[in-house]
Structure 1
Amino acid sequence: MEFYAEADTERWAAEPDKRPGRTAFQRDRARVLHSGALRRLSGKTQVVTPGSRSQAWDASPRTRLTHSLECAQVGRELGAALGCDPDLVEAACLAHDMGHPPFGHNGEQALNDFAKDIGGFEGNAQSLRLLTRLEPKRFVRAAESGKPVSVGLNLTRAALDAATKYPWARGGHPTDPASVKFGVYEDDLPVFAWVREGATPYSKCFEAQVMDWSDDVAYSVHDFEDGLHAGHIDPGALRSETERADIWRVAIGRYVPQDTDPQELSEALERLTEQDWWPHRYDGSAVSQARLKDATSQLIGRFCLAAEGATRAAFGTGHLTRYGAELVVPRAARNECAVLKAVADRYVMQRDEQERLRADQRVVLAELADALTARAPAEGLDPQFRALYEEADDERTRKRVIVDQIASLTDAAARSLHSRLTVHHR
């Protein structure tokens, strides 16, 4: 903590510590860990839908919650090795996916279509909104009306900044204005400006960079592991030049720059498959499961040590924090990570069954959004969102409340509410 400035530990609304002896970042971590929004991630899809009968084994695939917990473990250790406050990095990792809606990125796209006339939808921008406005933890009195106003979890400036993967508004990407990625809605610009006080525009703080790489490492390795467990990935197929060509087509432009030479990706895969611990086959036996678990540990260690070594070589020893350093990830490590992402994409996400499921999910969310629009606030809104809807003074704000309500739902809750609001009204 002594390596962070007083401004880093400030909160939007000042408040005393109820339990002296804890650091500000320990409080941040505890608030995120105990939040309802984090718990709801247990019911939100990561890649393989929990309970899917297409799984070859009862593999208990990752949910958004288990992914966030694993990301937090990776980030805490990598951040500590580089001199960051480990509680700060862990809080950011736990919080980074809290704004994601039901049905993963598919749900994100469906909500973005519905909200296109009010600023769109983006999971990372929703996370900031949730942390600073929607998650009920702290309220303050409005200066003019005296009414209680939520400030969300009221995290420190450093924690909110560390959880911000895309520090710009919609259309504000520094190099690609057409990018669909952004980190703040127009409604939330005041608190975003407060979070970013003193920061260089568009730059991510060091802890956010650690969080971002930890996220990449966790989901690339674990999505690959889940794909093997579910029987969708055949390690033997990765030796086929035809299959590899398909994987490179998925990777280039999505996971690596458009001008990447496929030979570079082939070399990355070769480096991985040459390792003694690489899972060349998988049959679901206890021995295979143990070998695969060792492979995931080896991969995580490989990617983290590569970033730690390169960053230390560039910035030296000591505590690397906030805007005093940049995380350096060697190109070779990024390519290896990208290959794992592309393998999971090609063999898990691009299955015909998954596309049929995604099409159904898009219909569910589109119809749910229309039903809530027609029936709110009388039907469908939780008490928290019903009150916000009734207080709204224009259609734009009311529509954003509907988006907030849908985004808060688990996969099962979205389907249940859709059924309740549509089946009996057809």
Structure 2
Amino acid sequence: MAGTAPHAHPEPQPEHTAYPCALPAFSAYDAAAAERWAAEPDKRPGRTAFQRDRARVLHSAALRRLAGKTQVVTPGTRSQAWDASARTRLTHSLECAQVGRELGAALGCDPDLVETACLSHDLGHPPFGHNGEQALNELAQDCGGFEGNAQSLRLLTRIEPKRFVRSPDTGDLVSVGLNLTRAALDAATKYPWPRGAHPADPDSVKFGVYDDDRPVFDWVREGAPGHRTCFEAQVMDWADDVAYSVHDVEDGLHAGHIDPNLLGAEPERRDVCAVAVGRYVPADTDPEELAAALDRLQEQEWWPHGYDGSAVAQARLKDATSQLIGRFCLAAETATRARYGTGPLTRYAAELVVPRETRLECAVLKAVADRYVMQRAEQTRLRADQRVCVAELADALAARAPEGLDPQFRALYDAAPDDRAAKRVVIDQIASLTDAAARSLHRRLTAPHRTARTGE
């Protein structure tokens, strides 16, 4: 393994500054927000820089692959009750984008910018959802760990092949990924700090950048106040919470895993609140506050009491979904406007204000889906099997590297300057796989060993 470090980011070249970056008319964004790591001309004048960003993410292979990645239940492994209408990571991202775009526009953000962040926020998630993320983090401890949000930044700025530039040091062609604007990359960054630097919890597993991606991260964060997320990222984060809390419950009801009539009785209510405390709300939250949040939701006339799967019930459930999204977004919009007034709110000019009662209502919905969908016995067994799949796949790919890697990652492995960088390339390939692709590759690479062990 010799040669140029994989994905090394070149410094922006002075001559690139000749290309102006188009901003929306009467824009609240400055030229720095619309800059790209590698400046480039617009092939179709008339579009704004943020419209170009949105188009690049929409047309990316990484976004399409989300159709085969776990949201709550692994695609292709659902019971008969869980039909093809259940969400995948792609449909979740599209719904998040719709929620975020409208909320951001109502608050004065550029809607294309917020939509780009929402579409991008899960691109780095590996096969098998958060379970796969945890498995890869364990495997990658000696090369910087693994985190889906840090992987999203890595994918957007180097792995997704769209734009290449010459390295000023070696002259080699180097990928700069989709080459999005500074504002778009910042808006897609939920956790603007490296591993171990969480501002409130140094032991947190959440972070937004690997060490070898620091150059582009530092460029993105130029002028940002500390670890504060930009306003558009806060809108994206809330849209994500709203979308998955509401839609996971909708999917669970539709599949028959959640019985809304049980939520009015004990011990189910205690179980739901216990799941929420420490996982979706701070550990010192009074369970009675969560119970009150659940009561408020159940008292609404549109709450799907007595859901039985009939066409009328499905229509009422869809209305409840719409009502919940509107309730959560309107509460955030109203509270934020009450603090900051009616002008456009962008970048670091404001903080999104979400009332405590609203956050508790959102958290209790997450807990309902967690308790009745994710904690089912069949899901526990499946997650254990998925972790074995990821671990064995990592061993098999490492043993066969570089020949056993896909051509894109094979070249990066060959250029890796050390074992740590080479292992990161293997992790990158696994993270790019869909659930089905991970299963298929695992079977193909481990079948000879299984045959030898079992004599089959």
TM class by shorter chain equals over 0.9
> Equivalent residue for 1:383?
407
Does structure 1 residue 392 correspond to structure 2 residue 395? no
> Equivalent residue for 1:315?
340
Q: Secondary structure, in 3 states, of the residue corresponding to 2:165?
A: strand
> Equivalent residue for 2:438?
414
**Aligned counterparts of 1:290 and 1:60: Cα–Cα separation in 2:** 14
8 Å CA contact 2:97, 2:114 repeated in 1: yes
Pair 1:377–1:57, CA change in 2 (3 A) = closer
8 Å CA contact 1:42, 1:64 repeated in 2: yes
**Aligned counterparts of 2:355 and 2:395: Cα–Cα separation in 1:** 47
> Equivalent residue for 1:292?
317
Q: What letter corresponds to residue 383 of structure 1 in structure 2?
A: P
Alignment map for 1:6-21 (pairs within 5 Å)? 6-21=31-46
**Aligned counterparts of 2:449 and 2:292: Cα–Cα separation in 1:** 57
Aligned length: 425
**Aligned counterparts of 1:144 and 1:330: Cα–Cα separation in 2:** 51
Please give the per-residue CA displacement for 1:73-125, whole angstroms capped at 9, x wherever unaligned: 00000000000000000000000000000000000000001001111000000
Please give the per-residue CA displacement for 1:250-303, whole angstroms capped at 9, x wherever unaligned: 000110111111111111011100111000122211111111000000000000
TM-score under structure 1 normalisation?
Answer: 0.99
Does structure 1 residue 216 correspond to structure 2 residue 241? yes
Match of 1:343 among 368, 373, 381: 368
> Equivalent residue for 1:235?
260
8 Å CA contact 2:36, 2:182 repeated in 1: yes
**Aligned counterparts of 1:50 and 1:282: Cα–Cα separation in 2:** 24
Alignment map for 1:151-170 (pairs within 5 Å)? 151-170=176-195
CA shift for structure 1 position 48 = 2.1
8 Å CA contact 1:137, 1:153 repeated in 2: yes
8 Å CA contact 1:59, 1:229 repeated in 2: no
Moved more, 17-26 or 389-398: 389-398
Please give the per-residue CA displacement for 1:27-57, whole angstroms capped at 9, x wherever unaligned: 0000000000000000001002233342425
> Equivalent residue for 2:383?
358
Does structure 1 residue 423 correspond to structure 2 residue 447? yes
> Equivalent residue for 2:14?
none
**Aligned counterparts of 1:30 and 1:10: Cα–Cα separation in 2:** 16
**Aligned counterparts of 1:410 and 1:281: Cα–Cα separation in 2:** 36
Does structure 1 residue 31 correspond to structure 2 residue 56? yes
> Equivalent residue for 1:124?
149
Match of 2:210 among 162, 185, 202: 185
Q: What letter corresponds to residue 185 of structure 1 in structure 2?
A: Y
8 Å CA contact 1:57, 1:284 repeated in 2: no
CA shift for structure 1 position 391 = 1.1
Match of 2:278 among 246, 253, 267: 253
**Aligned counterparts of 1:32 and 1:341: Cα–Cα separation in 2:** 28
8 Å CA contact 2:74, 2:435 repeated in 1: no
Q: Secondary structure, in 3 states, of the residue corresponding to 1:127?
A: helix
**Aligned counterparts of 1:35 and 1:52: Cα–Cα separation in 2:** 26
> Equivalent residue for 1:64?
89
Q: What letter corresponds to residue 95 of structure 1 in structure 2?
A: S
CA shift for structure 1 position 144 = 1.7
8 Å CA contact 1:173, 1:181 repeated in 2: yes
Q: Secondary structure, in 3 states, of the residue corresponding to 2:429?
A: helix
Q: What letter corresponds to residue 274 of structure 1 in structure 2?
A: E
Alignment map for 1:30-109 (pairs within 5 Å)? 30-56=55-81, 58-109=83-134
**Aligned counterparts of 2:68 and 2:161: Cα–Cα separation in 1:** 20
CA shift for structure 1 position 185 = 0.3
8 Å CA contact 2:114, 2:187 repeated in 1: yes
Q: Secondary structure, in 3 states, of the residue corresponding to 1:88?
A: helix
Please give the per-residue CA displacement for 1:147-203, whole angstroms capped at 9, x wherever unaligned: 100000000000000000000000000010000000000010010000000001110
Q: What letter corresponds to residue 434 of structure 2 in structure 1?
A: T
CA shift for structure 1 position 229 = 1.1
RMSD of aligned residue pairs (Cα, Å):
0.8
For structure 1, list consecutive stretches of 5 or more residues without a partner in the other structure: none
Q: What letter corresponds to residue 231 of structure 1 in structure 2?
A: G
TM-score under structure 2 normalisation?
Answer: 0.92
Moved more, 331-340 or 236-245: 236-245
**Aligned counterparts of 2:297 and 2:75: Cα–Cα separation in 1:** 28
**Aligned counterparts of 2:194 and 2:77: Cα–Cα separation in 1:** 36
Q: Secondary structure, in 3 states, of the residue corresponding to 1:362?
A: helix
**Aligned counterparts of 1:143 and 1:58: Cα–Cα separation in 2:** 52
Q: Secondary structure, in 3 states, of the residue corresponding to 1:319?
A: coil
CA shift for structure 1 position 59 = 5.0
Q: What letter corresponds to residue 317 of structure 2 in structure 1?
A: L
**Aligned counterparts of 1:173 and 1:372: Cα–Cα separation in 2:** 32
Q: What letter corresponds to residue 155 of structure 2 in structure 1?
A: L
Pair 1:192–1:86, CA change in 2 (3 A) = same
**Aligned counterparts of 2:345 and 2:46: Cα–Cα separation in 1:** 24
8 Å CA contact 2:231, 2:352 repeated in 1: yes
8 Å CA contact 1:50, 1:63 repeated in 2: yes
Please give the per-residue CA displacement for 1:294-317, whole angstroms capped at 9, x wherever unaligned: 000000000000000000000000
